A and B are shown apart, each in its own frame.
Chain A
Amino acid sequence: MASGVFGRTEPVFSFLWTYLRNHKRALWLVIPLSSLSILFRILIPVLIGDSVNRVVSGNVAGVVNISVIIVIISAVAAVVQYAVSYGSMYLSHTLAREARSDLYRSMLNKNFTFFDSSGSGDLLSRMTMDVEAVRRLVSVGLSQFLTTIFMIVVAGAILFSLGFYYFLVFVALIPTLLLVSAYQQKLQRPFWRSLRKRYGFMGDHLQENLTAHRVIRSFNAEKRENSKFTGITGKYFSDYESISSIRGFYTPLLSLIVSLGAAFIIYEAGIQVINSSWNIGNLVASINIYSMLLFPVTFLGRIGAFIENARSGVERIGGVENDSRADYASTGSSNEKPEKNSISYHNVSLVRGRQQVIRNISMEIREGETVGIVGRTGSGKSSLVDMIPRFYLPTEGRVYVGGADTSTIDLSYLRKFVALVPQDVVIFSGSIRENVTLGDPEITDDDVVSALKTASIYDFVEDQEYGLDTKVGERGITLSGGQRQRVAIARAIASRPRVLILDDATSSLDAETESNIIESLKDAVDGLTTITISHRLSTMKLADRIFVIEGGELIQSGPLYELSGSEGAFSKMFLGATAVND
């Protein structure tokens, strides 16, 4: 709508329209009412002008009437104004809620490659500040923008009725005003864009700094961190400085133009009043109307900043929403839900970034089997198992679960069927219960307790004053590395998977605890297929078969006795370990 006036603003307005069109009723209430309320507001200077005319003609009764009319009109205007003001707040906050909700859903629906390369502080700032930038455009902008346009139109009409001359001056001013405001908006654009980006950097840097505070302290790196941060805030500040200079120059220019117009009218029309029959009331009224225009005109200057800020916000929200790295939807229409918990890899290769992490692997894991995967650091073990719950899609070949190609299995079914406990464990702030159930209402306290027992951490939980309600995470007690891992294992068990993958998820546990857990898994879950990645020989002893990975390739497989009996990567890898312990 304003594209002609403000330059290429379409992305912002089409974004707004996506949300506002669902609230047409509120919109159709706010738009006419805001016009109405302006009509009332303009009426008051007209009435004041009229009262001056009546004073000149000595009409006392007329003056009394006008006082009463002003109060009545204002009362009606106040009600209308209330509806407009609340209505636009309603629209803006509803839009923010929906936009934020869409962004959240879209974010949650991204695949892992997206999160591998996104800064979490930056993502967070998109959810908060960027949505807020758009919201502010609606809350401040919508009613005021329409009001401004309407006010200009009505003011023009009234000036026309007061006298053609008043109108002509007005007509000369308006295009100048629009041009100036459009121009300053364009000047601001790059700075707003850079500002929003830097705000994201700030969040990223804070996130990184706060997470790694122990590293920073132990390496005496506090000063370097400070200068890095002040570097970011310094650039953020200088962007603002540029914007300030632009706005400082142009926005007051708009009111200057109007005021000079008014001064011109005072003189020119004043002479006419003196020399001919022009009436002074009309002159006063039109001067009042010009001074009333000052506010919307200043707003015209401000709106540019709002639009540009919102535009950068929309771009950054779109940056996430339009990112093609969505979670891999099931191919075909099948949405299969296999029953069997066997797994097989057929000529699977995986490329992540520019890096080939898995090379042509084929392997079979039978139902209910317990297998171990070993291999050197960086050999591709995690990438191999990450493909089972479809965290990553194989670049070539196929992975099957229960005989079904994983890419055709219903995604949510697959991820409930397969539970993967990663190396890097996540503990949410909340109770231990919440951390185990992750909010699943079907998991009872009994289930939680038995999962905690299987994960060898129930004794610890029982010792706590609040038991399952013990708060953990950032606002609760601090769990040790081993405790975190066991809570994560309990979480996986409680979700009743048919396939359980422990991706080096027991590295912080001592060997005894680790073996206890793996052994009790068999008793806890009937027929569970278990895949364990570990560097411990003791763990591998519990496996029916072991797969050895090196450089992304499967180089050896078989039961422990076979592998340790033969010369090969496996015995080379574990030779030293047994030697030390012997």
Chain B
Amino acid sequence: MTEWDLNDAREKYGSMSLMKRMLSDLLKNRRESAKVIASVLAISAVGMTAPLVLGLAVNAITSGIPEMLLLFALIYAVLYIINYVARKIQMRDVMVLAQWYIKELRDNAFRKLQSVPISFFTEIKTGRIISRLTNDAEALSDFLTFQVSQVVSGITTVVASIAIMGILDPSLTLYAIAVIPVLFIFSFSIQGKVRQRYLNTRRAIASLTGTVAEDIGGIRAIKGFATEGRMTGRFSGLNDANLHANLSASKLASMFGSIVRIIEASGIALVIYIGAGQAISGVITIGLLVSFLSYVQGFFDPVIQLSQFYNSYQSATIGLGRLYQIIDYEEERDEGTHEPEGIAQGITFDNVSMKFGNSYALKNVTFSIGAGEKVAVVGHTGAGKTTLANLILKFFHPSAGRISLDGVDLEDIRTAKYRDITSVVLQEPLLFKDTILGNVRYSNPGSTDDHIKEIFTGFGLDDIFSNLPDGLDTEIGERGNGLSEGQKQAISIVRAIIRDPKLIIMDEATSQLDLYTERKIQDALARFLKNRTVIIIAHRLSTISFADKIVVLDHGKIAEEGEFNELISHRGLFFKLYETQNVLAS
């Protein structure tokens, strides 16, 4: 779990390698990145030449040559027109490139989430994943759009300015750059602290987001127990912590900016002092001095930018690390080559165990389900019934032993193909924001409205939706909001049926239906399930009446197995379960 600590994500990759990877990914968009590079270079070229032209213009004035002055003024204007064109391209394309890259990251991360092992979702909070794909990706936007190009052009400007100054007057250049080592030492000494404080801000906002996500999800419980006050208290604590983390980072960043300005001024003063002396004594022209002063001013701005860049760089690398961590996550293996079209013999559990952490959910389970057979799995809550279903669905892989279909290990069967012939009614219906018909069609996009409606009617599930104004065309909310649990379950059942599966797993599929409805669907269900291989997990023993065989689980082990009458006469656990229900019911 610590693997998913946001700190680790970046440390694992290292900031530099993250930046390298980002750069190589950005360069994949050749056209845009070529335009960006060309425009940044053009902008820097103008930035470098303009002070020179200005100095030449001043010299033209001091030496009184109007024609030269006109020429330099025009060159100055043309330079800025070139600058405009370059900036226009740079501004647009940098933003487009940045957003393209962010989109790629999001899409790739999302694609990966569709293929990671199911266990991934038990490791990391949904809220945190969402925050990675939204907030963290967004944090890159500022960095890529504003900071990177500014820093790149800034560095180019600094280097080129120094080069030009060096050509114009090497000794004066040395004075001009005298403050640079001071700047470097200062920046490096403060770096570690800044980094730590920015990391704290990311942590603070991440835990705030996670908590709010959970509060929204649990709003019914919060309101139901009138705990708004305490929840607000918890939220305020995190909200304050976020404020303080940010303020402490801001303090340092502001200080950095101010001190750089003082260093800058000292540099300028030095150039004035030395340069003016030389100009007065005639060693250099006044125009050269003006150019120099202009260059010196010019190369401090990028340094100030650097303090902003650093904040943004911190958020960006943290976010980038967290996204690449998802993108690089190992996919669920689907190396199987067998592509079953149906079920000929059946499914066999051979000494199957399943361990979560230190405890066994299933231990040494061996049994078989024949083709076309209906097997009921019963047992107390927590006996391992749902784990068994998850293993058959290939959501998890057994810790030991093997499960096979027609003698072929499930691991050797191509998962996608296997799921084509299976279907499931999960314990939790999990519906989508769509119409009821749309939700059913989710499992089989080709099915027509009429066909779906037919199934609802055929199974006697149509009239429980009669209270809805638009019937089966009713638009339902997120997670089926607006429907009762029984209605959600009915939709989930039809959704499983419409796939026309060879193997169907029904995990407490009818627990939320009323008895009347449940009984009504029994006949239709029995007809539908005929010739299909079925695994029914149920508490209500009434729902297992059509099972050919019953497997009784107890603490992860098979306690009993056999036909209904056999088990009753055996007077074991099943009999006890049956008795209790019967006594309670009669």
Contacts and interface: CB of A to CB of B under 8 A. Distances in A.
Interface in B88-117: 88-93, 95-96, 99-100, 103, 106-107, 110-111, 113-115
B469 A353 contact: yes
Contacts of A580: 541-542, 545
Given A204-B478, A243-B95, A280 B58 contact: yes
Interface stretch (B162-170, B180-188, B210-218, B347-355): B210-218
A513 B539 CA distance: 11
Interface string A407-432: 00001111110011011101011000
Nearest to A485: B381
A93 B201 CA distance: 11
B348 to A, nearest CB: 21
Given A274-B69, A581-B586, A82 B103 contact: no
B508 interface: yes
B257 A82 contact: yes
A380 B124 contact: no
A206 B110 CA distance: 8
Contacts of A219: 419, 423, 442-444, 495, 499
Contact of B382 (A287, A419, A482): A482
B269 A71 contact: yes
Interface string B365-384: 00000000000000011100
B293 A48 contact: yes
Nearest to A420: B224
A93 B130 contact: no
B216 A89 contact: no
The interface size bin for chain A is: 35 or more
Contacts of A150: none
A582 B280 CA distance: 117
Task: Indicate the member of B57, B225, B286 with the most A CB atoms within 10 Å.
Answer: B225
Nearest to B265: A74
B289 interface: yes
Given A375-B514, A510-B577, A120 B261 contact: no
Contacts of A77: 261, 265
Interface string B117-134: 010011011110111011
A482 B381 CA distance: 6
Nearest to B519: A576
Interface residues of B, number: 185
Q: Report whether over half of chain B's contact residues are helix, strand or loop; otherwise say mixed.
A: helix
A374 B514 contact: yes
A63 B286 CA distance: 13
B430 interface: yes
Contact of B99 (A101, A240, A429): A240
A256 B58 contact: no
Interface string A348-384: 0000111111000000000000000011111111100
A29 interface: no
B135 A129 contact: yes
A245 interface: yes
Interface in B468-489: 468-469, 477-479, 481-487, 489
A237 B218 contact: no
Interface string B417-438: 0011011101110111100000
A277 interface: no
A551 B577 CA distance: 34
B230 A438 contact: yes
Contact of B243 (A74, A97, A123): A97
B73 A241 contact: no
Nearest to A244: B95
B408 interface: no
Nearest to B122: A478
Given A70-B272, A508-B539, A512-B581, A89 B254 contact: yes
A421 to B, nearest CB: 8
A270 B584 contact: no
A357 B467 contact: yes
Nearest to A295: B301
Contacts of A52: 286, 289-290
B205 to A, nearest CB: 7
A171 interface: no
Interface stretch (A12-20, A338-346, A532-540): A532-540
Contacts of B578: 581
Interface in A444-485: 460, 465, 474-475, 477-478, 480-483
A217 interface: yes
A217 B585 CA distance: 38
Contacts of A375: 514
Interface string B291-314: 001100100010000000000000
Nearest to B417: A220
B515 A263 contact: no
Contact of B246 (A89, A121, A240, A438): A89
A438 B221 contact: yes
B465 interface: yes
A30 B436 CA distance: 57
Contacts of A67: 269-270, 272-273
B516 A376 contact: yes
A170 interface: no
B276 A244 contact: no
Given A55-B289, A128-B209, A199-B134, A267 B70 contact: yes
Contacts of B171: none
B435 to A, nearest CB: 14
Contacts of A66: 272
Interface string A102-113: 001101110010
B494 to A, nearest CB: 13
Given A244-B96, A480-B382, A206 B130 contact: yes
B190 interface: no
Nearest to B1: A475
B357 to A, nearest CB: 7
Contacts of A508: 381, 427, 508, 511, 539
A212 B585 CA distance: 35
A263 B224 contact: no
Interface string B386-427: 100000010100000000000000000000100110111011
B118 to A, nearest CB: 7
Interface stretch (A1-9, A153-161, A246-254, A329-337): A246-254
B105 to A, nearest CB: 10
Task: Indicate the member of B100, B230, B266, B485 with the most A CB atoms within 10 Å.
Answer: B485
B364 interface: no
B265 A75 contact: yes
B277 interface: yes
B61 interface: yes
Interface stretch (A221-229, A310-318, A393-401, A521-529): A221-229
Nearest to B63: A274
A481 B513 contact: no
B22 interface: no
Task: Indicate the member of A207, A541, A551 with the most B CB atoms within 10 Å.
Answer: A207
A480 B100 CA distance: 42
Given A60-B277, A101-B235, A477-B357, A491 B225 contact: yes
A121 B247 CA distance: 28
B96 A577 contact: no
Given A67-B269, A241-B96, A215 B430 contact: yes
Given A94-B243, A581-B585, A480 B386 contact: yes
B130 A124 contact: yes
Given A116-B477, A245-B92, A374-B514, A64 B214 contact: no
Given A226-B110, A429-B125, 9 more contacts: A70-B268, A124-B127, A124-B130, A129-B134, A214-B393, A271-B66, A424-B220, A477-B356, A504-B485
21 contacts: A74-B264, A101-B239, A116-B477, A124-B127, A128-B212, A210-B121, A212-B431, A215-B430, A219-B499, A226-B111, A248-B91, A259-B83, A274-B69, A376-B464, A419-B224, A475-B125, A481-B428, A482-B381, A495-B225, A535-B518, A551-B466
Per CB-CB distance, the 9 closest pairs between chain A and chain B, nearest first, are: A377-B486, A74-B265, A248-B92, A538-B584, A482-B381, A252-B87, A89-B250, A267-B73, A259-B80
